[in-house]
Homo-oligomer: A and B are copies of this chain.
Amino acid sequence: MLNRRFHTPGTAPATLVAPTGAMVAPPTITLIEYDADSFTERHISNVDELLACHNNGKVSWVNIDGLGDVAALQRIGQHFGLHPLALEDVLNTGQRPKVEEYTDHFFIVSQMLWCEDGRSVSYEQVSMFLKADVLITIQEEPLQDVFEPVRARLRAGRGFARSRGHDYLAYALLDAVADHYFPVLERVGETIESMEERLLQKPGPELINELHALKRTLLQMRRCAWPERDVLSTLARDVTGLIHEETRVFIRDCYDHVVQIMDVIESYRDMTTGMMELYLSSVSTRTNEIMRVLTVVSATFIPLTFLAGIYGMNFEYMPELKQPHGYFVLLGIMGTLFLSMVAFFRSKRWI
């Protein structure tokens, strides 16, 4: 339900265990190296090949897809000097976004999100290790990927990307993750708009179930976006020197986007709360209206029916029945009663 794989109690800290659903297959590794003049992109078939690569002064980005092969990740971790606790968090997917500062690298966790059917949202954890000479990104599954636009920009040499370092690349990827909130928010916004319309026209209980589901979706999005904000503000205030001064203005811009995302999520939450209130008040109002009809009809006709019942009795001696005008007198009484009831209800504004 919560897409969270809980930590198993009793395991030693920094124990690496593959997440339950992960395919036991070697990860898909891509190595991209570039500087202002050159760009190479290699698919690397096994870990040994990766470890054999030498740093050649270029910006190098290792992207790893798939968490099933723990041993491979462990070797990569040892080779690049990644902290074992960080690697544990890579495998315990469903983490809150966070940034950890280790002796010579940053460890950054983010959550990408997708909205396939305009209703429920899926999450995938992206882990990043930012070192002075390499950027390593690790994703859960090879299928989904938000980094393609960044790769395309690098290939094409457009924008600032090629002329900057690892820190700018990390920013570009975090920005790509943050930007993926916008289409999701857009779809959620459309859903809210259509629900609001239905709420004003024909509110029904199934709407409330949808509203409930929507609130949970927003709750989850908020749980992801809120700590993302802290991640970016920590990076923008970096004192380690891994993030260059000129990159920080970009990170602050990305931070601004996340603030805007939070802002929209909060508005959506306020709106769903307002819709719930609106629903409840409209149900109360309609119940009131229904009761009014029932009361007006019942309270008018029940006494009249009683009168009719009286004169439907079969007593041998009921003088009124013998009166030649008894029937019409009674009808007159009934009419008067009816009209005075109507007047009473009108005075109360019930009809």
Contact = CB atoms under 8 A, between A and B. Distances in A.
A282 B349 CA distance: 14
B288 A281 contact: no
A333 interface: no
A324 B313 contact: no
Given A200-B209, A267-B2, A318-B327, A182 B9 contact: yes
Contact of A313 (B95, B146, B312): B312
Nearest to A153: B12
Contacts of A244: none
A163 B20 CA distance: 31
A278 interface: yes
Interface stretch (A26-34, A57-65, A248-256): A248-256
A122 interface: no
Contact of A295 (B149, B291, B317): B291
Interface string A153-194: 100001111000000000010011001101101100100110
A311 B216 CA distance: 58
A282 B205 contact: yes
Nearest to A344: B293
Interface string A184-217: 0110010011000000101011001100100110
Interface stretch (A44-52, A67-75, A235-243, A258-266): A258-266
Interface of A: 1-2, 4, 6-15, 83, 85, 89, 95-96, 98, 100, 102, 146, 148-149, 153, 158-161, 172, 175-176, 179-180, 182-183, 185-186, 189, 192-193, 200, 202, 204-205, 208-209, 212, 215-216, 219-220, 223, 249-250, 252-253, 256-257, 259-260, 263-264, 267, 270-271, 274, 276-288, 290-295, 297-299, 301-306, 308-318, 320-327, 330, 349-350
18 contacts: A2-B189, A9-B183, A10-B176, A12-B159, A13-B159, A85-B249, A208-B278, A220-B267, A223-B263, A280-B280, A280-B281, A284-B287, A287-B291, A308-B313, A311-B314, A311-B315, A316-B326, A317-B326
Q: Which 8 A-B pairs have the closest CB atoms?
A: A308-B309, A10-B149, A9-B179, A12-B159, A6-B182, A311-B313, A294-B295, A297-B299
